[in-house]
Structure formats: C-alpha cells, structure tokens
C-alpha cells in the first residue's frame, strides 16, 4: 500500500535507513556518510535474502565469514551510539516495513555489480521511489565503476593491460570519508533478529581452521592493510608467487565483504611510498585485476555460467565424479595441487599461484569443466567473489577475456619446484610427505623405493599415486582443444 503523497520538505529530518550489504565498515562508506549528511536519525540495517542472489547465493565459507563480519559491524555501530537491525527478506518488503516503523524518508546503500543483484536493486529502488521515499546508491567497492571505463570505440575492455592503463589515466579516486564518531538514533529502535538467528555458522562446526586463520571485520581488515604497507609491499613482486612465504596481502576476503575498500588501499600506498613505487607496483595491478573482473561481469553478465568465448560452449568436458572428488579432497597424487586443496578446506583460502595450478589441473589434466571448479571455490573460499571467481576460472580454462591460452598447461611438479623449492608449503599441508627430501617432495612417485620407505611414504596407502600422467593428460587436453577449434 502506498503512503499518502509527501514532499521533500515533509521528509527533511526524517530518519535514513542505511542498507548494508558487502560494505561492512564505517570508514569510507559513502552511503553511511550521505545518511549522516542528510540529517536526522540513521538506522543501519542488514537484510538476509540469499534466494535473491540468483544462481550464486553465499557458499558455506562465505556464510561463516558473514556471521563474524556482521557481529563485528554491530559492535562498531554500538561504539557510535547505533544498532544494526537484522531482518530476513524479501528485501523490498522488508525495507518498506523498516521505513514505516522508523518514519524514514530515505534509504541509502552502496552498489553491488552481480547480475542478479543489479536486477533486484533496480526493482527495490523503483518501489521505494514509488512509495515516496528517497532512494540512492553509491560506489564503495571499486576505484572506477564498470560503465565509466571504455576503450576508444566506447566498448568494454576485454584485455587487462589497456584496461588498467585507462584506469590509471583516469581521475584519481576521491579522498577518503572518515568514519562517523556518533550516529543520531531514532526515538525508538525497531525490532531486530540476533545475528545467530540467521544460522550462518556451520552445524556441525567445521570452521576451527577458519577461526584460527582469520579475523573478520573492519579492525581485522585495518590490521592486514597495515601489514601490507609495513611488511609485504616492498617484497610483494618477488614473493607473491611463493606459497611457502608470507608474501600475500591476505586482503581479498576483507575487500569482498567491504570491510575495507580499494580507495583505502590506494590512499594507504600513496601515503607510504613514492609515486614511482606504488602506482606501477605489482600489488596495485592486482587491485586492477579485481576492477577488471567486475568490469567484465557487468558488461558480460552471462559469463558467471557460460564462457565468454563461445567456441568453448562445445568443449568436450568430462563428467568424472571420482576424479572430481579426488581433486576436491586433495588426493590427486600431485603434492602442490593437493596441498592447495587442503589449505582451502582448512582455512577457506588458497595461495593465488597454487589456485592457478590447481585450477589448471582440474580443467586441463582432468578435462573437468571450469564450472565444477568455480562451484567448489564458491562454496569453500572465504573470499568467494562472483566477478573474481568467474574471471579466474575462465582465464585458466582459456575461455574468458585476456585468458591464458588453452595450450598453456601448468606442470604441477615444475611449478612446485620453482615456487616451493624446499617443499615447506607441501610439508605443512601434507605432513605425510614431510620427511621426503626436497628433490622428491613434488614427485614422490619418482623417489627411489628406499627413500620412500625411509620417509614413511607408501604410495597408494599413505599418499595416493598420481591419478593421471602429466604428459599423457597434456596431450589429450591439447587434442581436445584442437577438435574444439575445428568445430568437431
């Protein structure tokens, strides 16, 4: 039912709902800042409506992180005199109900860019405005929104290097917005669910490894940013591919949940380093890849389930459930791949170099569809992000934008020897191989029998033999690719 006709003057000073989504922070939060600037009470709200996320509702690891992040956000809001109102969807009806309960005249939020969410948000915005409410959205997640960057023909980019060059040449991101020190409260707070009532945490509890590895929330994100600036950045280019070294920023889940934004990263690097170091840096380029992923998903929304390169729609992917399970469980017989999958299962995260090797193994050694890998990562990664997940898997499979050519097949043994030279990463995640000498740890099946016996490695029992032969699997994959290109 519509309200009676109101004017902007009638709504001036009325409460503003701030609809939190993947922007779970107070600092540099444009929607929150706009609500404060508007005047009147501010009512922060979170609406749980996973069924509105289309084919990609949050996976199990993401749900665990979301629970912790919402609890942390609620704590931050209490510090500034506010509360986080938690409701279940449907979203449009819930926001209308909250507006009625609080006498709100406006609903503000920060934009998301997943196809199903964009469609939902358009409906929500139209319904709010039709009901006489002010409805506005803002950019909190990207340096440059997808429709603001185009090539010389006015088309979206499909190659990273010119895309990122265009981004760097564009107007610098605006100055950061301070976190509010106080939020005006409504006369009476509306009812709220407890975060626990959303049932986001797993039962039975398998998240002990995630809790040990991560500190979700705005404060945890700030600590990781400080670590990036003081410990990681100077050696990032040299160490980022080494899973045996602490050379990654580990900011990805914090960025996904909006506990920190890319503008904050940009300005932190700008403050800490000379321009000739931070602007062309490898780390800033990784922020660029995140931007590129959202650019692609926005302009090519079908790519979350279909290949960008249409010829791959006829690729002869296998359906081999036994091999898929072996890959998921880290039982392929290739130590670097298996260590990565076990790191993922334990911590909800996998080192980026190992992600590439593990993904290449699935789609090229096993000829399993990139969609199978994307679904597994979606459920198990704490940084599962639809844009980045889609870009990464299609890049690996050779079917996306700026993709690695299909004939580039990572050799997991050579990759292990190059990027985990002493086998420390493998030893950590595969303790049954820990006593193998470095020269054999990435290919235990080639170790002399006496070395395996002395190291306590019994292939096929304590550790699996390789499920495929690298050379044969590579040749089969290349032959399948040739047939695909020919249209056979």
Region at 199 (left for phi over 0; alpha for psi -120 to 50; beta for the rest): left
Strand partners of residue 378: none
Q: What is the C-alpha to C-alpha distance for residues 27 and 255, in angstroms, rounded to an integer?
A: 13
**Beta strand pairing status for 134-138 and 16-20?**
unpaired
Token pair 């100055």 in the structure block, residue: 175
Residue 89, class by beta-carbon neighbours within 10 Å (0-12 exposed, 13-18 middle, 19+ buried)?
middle
Instruction: Find out whether 198 and 86 touch, Cβ atoms under 8 Å.
Output: yes
Token pair 């109900």 in the structure block, residue: 97
Instruction: Find out whether 113 and 391 touch, Cβ atoms under 8 Å.
Output: no
DSSP state of 408: -
**Per-residue CA distances from 402 to 150, 390, 392, 395, 396 (Å):** 16, 13, 11, 7, 10
Specify the DSSP element, H or E, that contains 449. Answer: helix 449-455
Strand partners of residue 459: 463
What are the catalytic residues? 286, 289, 317, 352, 370, 393
For residue 400 the two structure tokens come to: 């996306």
């Amino acid at each position: 039912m519509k309200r009676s006709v109101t004017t902007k003057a009638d709504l001036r000073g009325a409460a503003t709902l701030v609809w939190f989504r993947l922007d779970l922070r107070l600092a540099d939060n444009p929607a929150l800042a706009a609500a404060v600037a508007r005047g009147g009470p501010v009512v922060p709200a979170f609406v749980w409506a996973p069924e509105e996320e289309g084919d990609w509702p949050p996976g199990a690891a993401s749900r665990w992180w979301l629970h912790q992040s919402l609890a942390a956000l609620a704590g931050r809001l209490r510090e500034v005199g506010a509360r986080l109102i938690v409701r279940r969807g449907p979203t449009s009806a819930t926001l209308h109900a909250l507006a009625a309960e609080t006498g709100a005249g406006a609903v503000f939020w920060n934009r998301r860019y997943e196809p199903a969410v964009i469609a939902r948000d358009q409906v929500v915005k139209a319904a709010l405005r039709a009901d006489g409410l002010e409805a506005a959205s803002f950019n909190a997640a990207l340096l440059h929104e997808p429709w603001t960057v185009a090539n010389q023909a006015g088309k979206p980019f499909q190659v990273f290097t010119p895309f990122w060059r265009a981004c760097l040449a564009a107007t610098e991101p605006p100055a950061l917005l301070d976190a509010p020190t106080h939020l005006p409260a409504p006369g009476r707070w509306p009812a709220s669910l407890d975060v626990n009532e959303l049932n986001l945490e797993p039962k039975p509890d398998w998240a002990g490894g995630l809790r040990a590895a991560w500190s979700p929330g705005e404060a945890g994100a700030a600590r990781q940013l400080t670590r990036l600036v003081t410990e990681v950045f100077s050696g990032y280019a040299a160490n980022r591919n080494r899973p045996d070294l602490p050379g990654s920023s580990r900011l990805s889940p914090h960025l996904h949940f909006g506990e920190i934004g890319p503008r904050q990263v940009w300005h932190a690097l700008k403050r800490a380093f000379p321009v000739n170091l931070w602007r062309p840096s490898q780390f800033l380029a990784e922020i660029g890849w995140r931007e590129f992923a959202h650019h692609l998903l926005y302009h090519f929304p079908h790519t979350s389930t279909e290949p960008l390169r249409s010829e791959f729609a006829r690729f002869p992917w296998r359906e081999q459930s036994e091999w898929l399970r072996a890959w998921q469980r880290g039982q392929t017989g290739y130590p670097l791949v298996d260590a990565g999958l076990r790191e993922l299962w334990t911590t909800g995260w996998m080192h980026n170099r190992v992600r590439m090797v593990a993904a290449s193994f699935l789609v090229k050694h096993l000829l399993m569809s990139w969609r199978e890998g994307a679904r597994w990562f979606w459920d198990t990664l704490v940084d599962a992000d639809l844009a980045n997940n889609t870009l990464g898997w299609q890049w690996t499979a050779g079917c996306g934008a700026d993709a690695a050519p299909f004939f580039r097949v990572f050799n997991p043994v050579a990759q292990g020897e190059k990027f985990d030279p002493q086998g420390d990463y493998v030893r950590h995640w595969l303790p049954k191989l820990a006593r193998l000498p470095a020269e054999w740890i990435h290919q235990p099946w080639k170790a002399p029998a006496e070395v395996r016996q002395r190291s306590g490695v019994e292939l096929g029992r304590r550790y699996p033999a390789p499920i495929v032969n690298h050379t044969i699997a590579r040749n089969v994959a290349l032959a399948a690719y040739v047939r695909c290109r020919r249209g056979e």
